[in-house]
Amino acid sequence: MAYLNANIPPIYCKVRKEYLYDMDNNKKGELECVIFGLTSISGRALLFNIMLPNGACYWRLPISAFFQKSHDRTQVPDMHVHELELWNSFSYWPSVHCFDWLDGVNGKYLGLDKKFYHGKYLFTIDWAHPDTNILDVEHSEIPQEHKCAHILALDNGNYAAQPNNRILWHINSYTTDTSWPDYKVQTTYWDAEDNDMVTEDTDKMFYEMKEKEKAEDKTYE
């Protein structure tokens, strides 16, 4: 888990040129680039860091700035950040991981316009709180508030960052159910030690666990 900045698997793609000129529409166009890192600022959209062919690095662009290298810009719809990414970053401490089970898997996410957008899995970003000595004012570890962000290369040429509850994946040999899930949000804090069990008071390596004896209520005069 990194603070603020994190490495990601490099993405060779294109950037919408106006994003390099503070959204000046007179500069519209496209340039090739490599996305190599991200910046996670609590309460802001995911931001990505790139290198351009002239050797310049440009920092903190949103996911809407990019589209796939194999596409011409005229073929790719311009989409707003909120259409591609449902939630802002949940903390300053992102974790980046590529899950083998999902690697290269196709999926679809339900957009705000109630339409499905299809794409291929690239990697996952998740968040946590790093230190109990730092005041936690975020939502990354509250069960019903937590979200991760799966990065997808969409069939329409864009990229998206979507949480579990917006995506359905397709694996030929496994995902045979085509219904939309009706699961409930998890609100439980799971704790394996929240019980009445105690260890025996010995020096045995393979000690026994037993239920703690409950002392009888006593009245003291």
pLDDT given at position 114: 96
Q: Residue 192, SS3?
A: coil
What pLDDT band is residue 137 in, cutting at 50, 70 and 90? confident
pLDDT at 204: 87
**Interval 44-71 mean pLDDT:** 98
CA–CA gap between residue 196 and residue 170 (Å, rounded)? 43
Return the number of other C-beta atoms located less than 10 Å from residue 175's C-beta. 12
Whether the per-residue pLDDT at 207 is higher than 90: the answer is no
The model's confidence at residue 214, banded by pLDDT at 50, 70 and 90, is: low
> What pLDDT score does 25 carry?
94
Average the pLDDT over 39-48 and give the result.
97
Name the residue among 139, 131, 158 with its Cα closest to residue 91.
Answer: 139
Share of the chain above pLDDT 70, in %: 96
Q: What is the pLDDT of residue 169?
A: 97
In this predicted structure, the answer to whether residue 215 has a pLDDT above a threshold of 80 is no
Higher-confidence residue: 68 or 142? 68
Report the alpha-carbon distance of residue 108 to residue 119 in Å, rounded: 6
User: Which pLDDT belongs to residue 219?
Assistant: 58
Dihedral of CA atoms 186, 191, 194, 198 in degrees, nearest 10, equals 160
The dihedral through the CA atoms of 101, 103, 104, 109 has a sign that is: positive
Q: Alpha helix (H) ranges present in the chain?
A: 81-84
pLDDT tens sequence across 103-114: 999 999 999 999
What per-residue confidence (pLDDT) applies to 217?
Answer: 54
Average pLDDT score over residue span 8-26: 98
Q: How many residues make up the chain in this entry?
A: 221
- 116/155 Cα distance (integer angstroms): 11
**C-alpha to C-alpha distance for 92 and 138, rounded to whole angstroms:** 9
Mean pLDDT along residues 43-53: 97
pLDDT of residue 135: 84
